[in-house]
Structure 1
Amino acid sequence: MLKEKTNVPLYVQVARTLKEEIVAGVYPVGTLLPTEEALCERFSVSRYTVREALRILRDDGLVASRRGAGTSVIPPQSSRSGMRQVMSINDLLEFAAATKFEVSSIRMVTVNNKLHARTGLQVGSEWLEILGYRMKENSATPFCLAEYFVNRDYASVGRLLQRHEGPIFPLIEDMFGIKVREVQQEISATILQPTLADKLGVATASAALEVQRSYIGSDNSIAQVTINTHPGSRFKHCMTMRQVESWI
């Protein structure tokens, strides 16, 4: 049963439930998922919602759809390391949709040496800088500082952000018709300076983690870079890796 009152879109909830069932073996590799009509009835959602949920599963490499043949569960893709990380761009979307983003400032910036060292962006290039804080529901204290750097080609997205609380990259995709094909993530340690420590409600010089993500478009250009700074005591990074079997 889906949650009626939540910031997570219905199609993401449906996809998450089906993904959990696929991983648990409810739908083994090679079997068909229920029909769109059956899924609509099960989750009490529209056909559009079901189709978007199935799109997420296809993007995650869990299923394949063929016209007239339905949607089947497919083998996991192998890798040279023999390991597979269970994480997707849609997981980021789900996380951000469950929080509120409060914008502090929006401005165009030119990348200097200091910003280049933090982001890897080209010195002298111009980016839309969006600073703000992510909040959890019913909490007055931010749980992280969020810094966004948006490619100047997509800078007009800034006019929508004062009334937007969710993730930003889906707006860029919708407005400009691009597709984010991958997100590269790095996590590093840092120390909180007094002003930021006070805003986040922790002691000055507390340990913190910076989570930097670069969003790569289908043309291999960087569409967006984000840096989220979390107090160390509030951040936990979890991932699941499974041995990939041979499907030959």
Structure 2
Amino acid sequence: MATIAEEAKPQRIPRYLQLAGELREAIMKGEFAGGRQFPTETVLCRKYDVSRYTIREALRRLEAEGLIQRRRGSGTTVQPAAARGGALHQPLSNVGELLQYAQGSEVTYALEGRGALPSEVAVQLAEPTHGEWTAFRGVRRHAGDVPPIAVTDAYFHELLGDAVAALDLGAGTLFSQIEQLAGVRIGKVTQDIQAIPADERMATILEVEEASPVLRILRCYFDHKGRIFEISVSHHPGDRFAYAMHIDVEA
């Protein structure tokens, strides 16, 4: 069976997608936070030595993901990640906003091992989970803060081939790296959210009392052929995380 990485080898990733990935990473790291102006198209063309068409296509992708907003006469601005009441509030209306939660926080992943998907994760899924998975664990904190706001276990399927070994575990969001390294295109994301009591292991990592409420968020990432290539399971302390959702009402 051909892996995603093998399928992608004959195809060169378009420059605008590479650029979108680079700009996305910069946004995730907060490089345009604190009132700093997002670069103009002219500045980006000069910095990355690409055409204005390439810049506009990259920005169009980031705008579709909800990461930036472009207005004629006002330039480009980064959509803010709201923080209220001491808890992290994650907006949710599209795939791009799933990644915004990295903004303003830091995480470093460590390799946990390879093998079958853990049974406690597999039982939560309606999809087949056969094959080998590579597992990473990361503890996320607000920059400068000590108490964790999340612990995330990320699992990558063998379909991704050698791309998993090329991940930079200290560079934050793993998903955006895989998108570029493996040339995989996301088809859909499913998400299940459930409040559960923290077991002893999770309580220790999150620095909370055992059995205290935590929010478990399980996400499955599918490629355009409907195959799961990544699963993430995040646990958040109940008083340090909240979802903010907006729904556009059709006329």
TM-score of the pair, normalised by structure 2: 0.65
2:214 to 208, 212, 224: 208
1:40 maps to what in 2? 41
The range that moved more, 133-142 or 184-193, is 133-142
1:195 to 192, 201, 216: 201
2:10 maps to what in 1? none
Q: Give matches, 1:1-248, under 5 Å.
A: 7-8=29-30, 39-40=40-41, 45-46=44-45, 47=52, 50-58=56-64, 87-111=93-117, 113-120=119-126, 122=128, 124-161=130-167, 163-245=169-251
CA RMSD of aligned residues (A): 3.3
Residue correspondences, number? 194
Q: Alpha-carbon deviations, 1:143-198, whole Å to 9, x = none?
A: 11101111112153343445433211222221121211221111011111223213
SS in 1 for 2:173: coil
Change beyond 3 A, Cα 1:211–1:218: same
More RCO (CA 8 Å, sep 6+): 2
Aligned AA (1:232): G
- On the 8 A contact 2:218/2:231 being kept in 1, the answer is yes
The range that moved more, 201-210 or 101-110, is 101-110
Q: Alpha-carbon deviations, 1:91-124, whole Å to 9, x = none?
A: 1222225432222433112136433213445354
- On the 8 A contact 1:112/1:123 being kept in 2, the answer is no
- Which 5+ residue runs of structure 2 have no aligned equivalent? 1-25, 46-51, 70-90
- On the 8 A contact 1:86/1:239 being kept in 2, the answer is yes
Residue 211 of structure 1 and its aligned partner are, at CA, apart by: 0.6
- On the 8 A contact 1:110/1:124 being kept in 2, the answer is yes
- Which 5+ residue runs of structure 1 have no aligned equivalent? 19-37, 64-84
Q: Alpha-carbon deviations, 1:48-102, whole Å to 9, x = none?
A: 5554222223466x99xxxxxxxxxxxxxxxxxxxxx961111122222543222
Residue 241 of structure 1 and its aligned partner are, at CA, apart by: 1.4
Aligned AA (2:29): N
Residue 233 of structure 1 and its aligned partner are, at CA, apart by: 1.3
SS in 2 for 1:94: helix
Residue 141 of structure 1 and its aligned partner are, at CA, apart by: 2.6
- On the 8 A contact 1:111/1:122 being kept in 2, the answer is no
Identity of aligned residues (%): 18
Residue 242 of structure 1 and its aligned partner are, at CA, apart by: 2.5
Q: Aligned partners of 2:165 and 2:102: how far apart in 1? A: 19
Name which one, 1 or 2, has greater alpha-carbon Rg: 1
Residue 236 of structure 1 and its aligned partner are, at CA, apart by: 0.8
Q: Aligned partners of 1:222 and 1:6: how far apart in 2? A: 24
